[in-house]
Every structure is written in structure tokens, then in C-alpha cells.
Amino acid sequence: MRFALRSTGNPRSQSSAPIPFHCLLLWRLYFLAAIFALEAVLVLGPLHIEPGFHLGVSPVAIVAFAVFLGLGHPWLKAQRERIPFGFIFFGGYLACVAAEICIHAVMALHGAGGGFSNAAVFATTAIFFFKVPLLALACVPLRLWIRMIRATSPLWFYACAAGVVSWSLLHPSWSLWTASSAGFGRVFQTATFASVQALLRLVRPDAVANAAAFSVESPRYLMEIAPSCSGMEGFGLILAFTSIWLWYSRKECRFPHVLLLIPCGLGLIWILNVVRLCALFLIGDAGNPEVADVGFHSRFGWIAFTAVALAFSMTTQRLSWVRKARSPVLSAPDGAPGGSSETAMVVREKLSQQQGESPAIRAYLIPFLAILAATFVSRAASGYFDRFYPLRFIAAAIALWYFWPELKKLNWRFGWIAPAAGAAVFLVWIAPAWWAHQQAASRLGADLAALSPAARWAWIGFRVAAAVVTVPIAEELAFRGYLARRFVSRDFDAVLFPSLTALSIGLSSVVFGLMHMQNMEDWQHLLVGTLAGLAYVLVLRSRGRMGDAVVAHAVSNLLLAAWVLGTGDWAQW
């Protein structure tokens, strides 16, 4: 399927003057999508607004937009015109969002209990139809929308058709989750239950299975397999990942051969889910129901998804049967059939040098990834209390020690501004709790008190050491050393810290804030995490030394540790 994309003939597109990427058409469309995604997260999260109209429109809009961007990517990327940002339209959009929030606040205050009255539904729907065009016009002027639709025609039709297909699939796909006897979810639930029952019979033949209630029981533990626990989440996540990955690597993959890997991935995630449920039962039956229900239940799901996703991506890169053969030009650069293999190797070597990430990424990212991986493992093996927290410190310390020969080349010196910024971040971090004179509820203090004194102080020692040493180094390398500079250039290690842009500073700080959210409604940590990220990156930018950012981060964490241990405000940990 090829689209005859017509040239726009725009004289300004011929200009050779460098244009900031955020003024280009493709990036404006990405920005449009990001704003809507952020709004959706806020609507469903901290603002506590009923999704209402968003819920019905979202799948259609997401699919239509993704198809338009995906199929029209070559044309959109080729547009080099500088696009002005419509601040007036953006102001109108923000006013619409504010009006929407006000309507919901008024409804909540006047006895509607947060629900919708007919007037509120009408008003918010009307606002929705106002704000979408306003944001669209703020990002891209009307004349460019018209030109884009004309130039990419009939792409708009395919995108809309894809959206309608998604709409028609909305309710059938929801029915997959229903537990009614007629629902597809029941078929999935039955198959998963039968598999778990068969597998458990091998190791616990005395476990009692109740097919009517989809439960497996022993004297010490009862496990019920709900429809949502029967592997549908894994199917959804793997389908999303594989489709995005195949799109990303479409030029390297051989179609339709590579599509056969999809059912393999789905089958693998389903088998791992059966293994997860069996292990869950065995952990609970062994006398650790809290570990089974709280830690293992969801963490192992993510571990399994990550493992399958990595296996899928590695297979698409390594298995020659699903990889696209090199083009004749590349395999025989001298033009002769089966030309000089030596020259072809040189061409491939040059290509592999141009593509992919900078080799320096390993030293910057692996310590942080080690912490994340250790967190999943330690939390999967714990209940409410993360008794294996020292694993995070050890994993990060090993990674940092391994990459230290590369990392020691960075400038680790620091000045007085670093501890001052760290202290300021600490004050901002604890300000909400200090202002409210109220400590959030936390089980950590009671869980620590239940340990022996030696175990308690060992745990606290590792917690403080991680907060002050390994976490600041690993997070600063990942967020400031890599991510902030990666937003500027693919060769991030060639970007000097003082040349970080406002966009890279802002985006990396928001990602840092997102990483500190503890749940969907935790807007407080999102906000203070973002502010902390901004402070650290600004210190780094002003001095140009990694040491300043790390020391600022370490001082914040050290003061926070002192606050927690001094006041018993365990929720801050």
C-alpha cells in the first residue's frame, strides 16, 4: 500500500537555515498527542474526573492519530517549514480545561457526589468539542492542516476507518473481560484454571480445585482465578508492545514471516501467567500469603512481560528468517551481483556505526536499570515491607563499580551551590507534610520495629547508604547525564551540559517526577519530583559538572533520611 504523497511546493521548505525541531510539523503533532495524553492521565488520576466522554472517544482518536502519523511519517518528516505556535489558541484551550475542572468541582460540592448530571454532561461535551480544535490550531495553523490533509490524501480516510474499526471493537474487546458465562472472558478463565490445576497437580496433588468458583484451596491458602487474572492483561501488553516494535523496526523485518512471532509471544506470556499463578499458590501455601498477594502478584507479571518483550525484540534482530535481507545495493555495493563481500562488510560496518545508541549509554543507564530490576525482584519477594531492599544497593554498587573506569572520566568536583540546592529540594519535598502538620500513614515503622535490632539497623544502614550514595549517582547519570542530553542529540555524550535546551530540561524533569509517583493519585510526588529534577539539572547546567548534580541529590536524600529517622515520618521513604 503506497500513498502518492504530493509535493507541497512550499518555497520556505527549501531554506537551509536550521530550524528547532519543536517548530517542525512532525514534532508539533507529537506535542499535540502528548498534551492529550497528559490531560487523559490528569483526568483519570489526580483530578478525579469521571472519564465520561473521553472514554468513548479515546480509542478512536488514539488509533486514528497513530495510523495517520505512522503511514504519513515519511511525508510529515520531510516537511521543514518553521511553524509558529498559536499562543492565543493555546490560551483558549487552557481556559476550556479550567472550565471543565470548575464544572466538576461545582458538581462535586453541590451534592452530585462527583457524578454527572445531564447539564454537566452537556457542558463538558460542548467544551470537549471546543478545546480539541483549539489545541489542534495552537499546534498547527489551519492552512497547514488543510495542506497536510490534501497532500496525504487518502490517508485521512484510512485513519478514520481504523478509528471506526477500533470503535466497533471496543465493546467486543470489553466483553473479553466479563465473567458472564456467555463472555469470552469465561473461556479464557476456564482454560487458565484448567492449566493451573493440571500443573499444580504435579507438585501439590492434595490441593482442592473448585471448577465452579475457579478456586484452588489448601488448608493454608485459597486462590481464586478472576477473569482479569487469566492472562488478558499480558495479551494486551504484548499486543501493544509487538505492534509498536514491529512498526519501529519495520525496515529491518521480513513480512509476513515476522508476524508468526506474535502468536509465539502471546503463547509465551500466557504460559508464564499460568506459572505465575502456580507460584503464587505455592508461595501462599508455604505460609507467605502477604508476599503472594501484595508483592509477587503484580510484580511477577511485569517481570514476565519484560522478559517476553525483550525475547521478542532480540528474536526480531537476531533470527535471520525474520530479518529482511540486505538490499542488492548494500550487499553488493560495487554493483555486481554477489559483489565483493569485503566491500559489503565495510558498508554494513559503517551502517551499524551510524545507527543505534552511543556506546556510552551502558555506563550511564545500566546502574539505574540495575536498581529498577532489583526493585522488581525485591518487591516481588516481599509483602508490604520490602525486606530485600539491600539488593537494590548491591545491584547498583556492582554496576557502578563495573563501569567506574568509564565514569571516573566525568567531572566529579562540586561547589557550594550543590549542597544549597540539595537543601532547598529537601525543604520543598517535606513542605506538604510540614505544612499540614500531619504524617501520611505508613506501615514501615511498625514493620521495622518487628525486626530484631541487628536486622533493623542493617536495613536502615543499607537504606541510607542507597539513598545517599548509589541512588543519586545512578539517577543523575540516567536522567541528567543520559536522558536530558539524549533529548538534544543521539550522540548524547558529545553534548556539553551547559548546552542543554529548555525542552530537554523540562522533559527530563517531568520523567523524573513521574518516576517518583507512588500511585495514580500521587500528584504531590509528581510535582515535587519534577521540581527536584529541575533543580538538579539547572545546577548541572550552570556548573557543567556531574559532581554538582550528584552532590545536590545526595544532600537532599541525606536530609530526608535524617528527617525520617528523627521524626518517624516513614511515609517519606
Partner 1 sequence: MTKNLLKYSFVILSLALSSCTAAYGMAFKRLPEVDPSLAISGLTLLAGTLAVLRVRRKK
* 246-305 residues near partner 1, rule: CB under 8 A: 246-247, 250, 255-256, 259, 262, 297-299, 301-302, 305
* Cis amide linkage into residue 154, ω under 30° from 0: yes
**Least distance in angstroms from the C-beta of 297 to partner 1:** 6
Q: Determine the distance from the C-alpha atom of residue 337 to the mean position of all C-alpha atoms in its chain, rounded to a whole number.
A: 46
Among 13-21, 56-64, 149-157, 438-446, which window interacts with partner 1 (CB under 8 A)?
A: 56-64
Q: Does 70 bind partner 1 (CB under 8 A)?
A: yes
Which residue in 421, 478, 554, 559 binds partner 1 (CB under 8 A)? 478
> Interface with partner 1 includes 327 (CB under 8 A)?
no
228 scored as a contact of partner 1 (CB under 8 A):
yes
What Rg, from alpha-carbon coordinates, does the chain have?
27
**Minimal distance in Å, beta carbon 184 to partner 1?**
12
b/e sequence 335-363, b meaning 16+ C-beta within 10 Å:
eeeeeeeeebeeeeeeeeeeeeebebbeb
Least distance between partner 1 and beta carbon 510 (Å): 12
Sign of CA dihedral 417, 422, 428, 433: negative
Burial label for 113, CB within 10 Å (0-12, 13-18, 19+), is exposed
How is 360-413 classified by DSSP, letter by letter? THHHHHHHHHHHHHHHHHHHHT-SSS-TTTHHHHHHHHHHHHHHHHHHTTS---
Bridge partners of residue 209, in order along the sequence? 216
**Of the candidate residues 358, 439, 501, 572, the single one contacting partner 1 (CB under 8 A):** 358
573 binds partner 1 (CB under 8 A): no
123 binds partner 1 (CB under 8 A): no
C-alpha cell, 324: 529482511
Among 7, 16, 320, 354, binds partner 1 (CB under 8 A): 354
Stretch that binds partner 1, among 102-110, 127-135, 312-320, 413-421 (CB under 8 A): 312-320
Say whether residue 542 binds partner 1 (CB under 8 A). no
CB of 413 to partner 1, least distance (A): 28
Whether the Cβ atoms of residue 233 and residue 244 lie closer than 8 Å to each other: no
- The least distance separating partner 1 from the CB of residue 58, rounded to whole angstroms, comes to 5
Q: Which of 9, 359, 453, 566 binds partner 1 (CB under 8 A)?
A: 359
* Residue 210, beta-bridge partner list: 215
Q: Does 45 bind partner 1 (CB under 8 A)?
A: yes
Distance CA 300, CA 303 (A): 5
Q: Which stretch binds partner 1 (CB under 8 A): 100-108, 138-146, 148-156, 367-375?
A: 367-375
Please choose, from the candidates 235, 226, 173, 237, the residue with its C-alpha nearest in 3D space to the C-alpha of residue 196.
Answer: 226
> Is residue 86 a contact residue for partner 1 (CB under 8 A)?
no
According to the binding rule CB under 8 A, does residue 473 interact with partner 1?
A: no
Which x/- pattern, by CB under 8 A, does the window 520-539 give for partner 1?
x-x-----------------
List the grid coordinates of 294. 501484595
For partner 1, the closer of residues 190 and 313 by Cβ is 313
Q: Which residues does residue 323 pair with via DSSP β-bridges, in sequence order?
A: 253
* Shortest Å, Cβ 239 to partner 1: 5
Q: Is 366 in the site for partner 1 (CB under 8 A)?
A: yes
Backbone region of residue 458 per phi and psi (left: phi > 0; alpha: psi in -120 to 50; beta: other values) = alpha
62 forms part of the interface with partner 1 (CB under 8 A):
yes
Work out whether 517 is an interface residue with partner 1 (CB under 8 A).
yes
Contact 447, 385 (CB under 8 A): yes
Is the Cβ of residue 243 or residue 341 nearer to partner 1 in the bound state? 243
Closest CA to 281 of 231, 222, 193: 222
Q: Does 376 bind partner 1 (CB under 8 A)?
A: yes
The only residue of 190, 215, 306, 331 in contact with partner 1, by rule CB under 8 A: 306
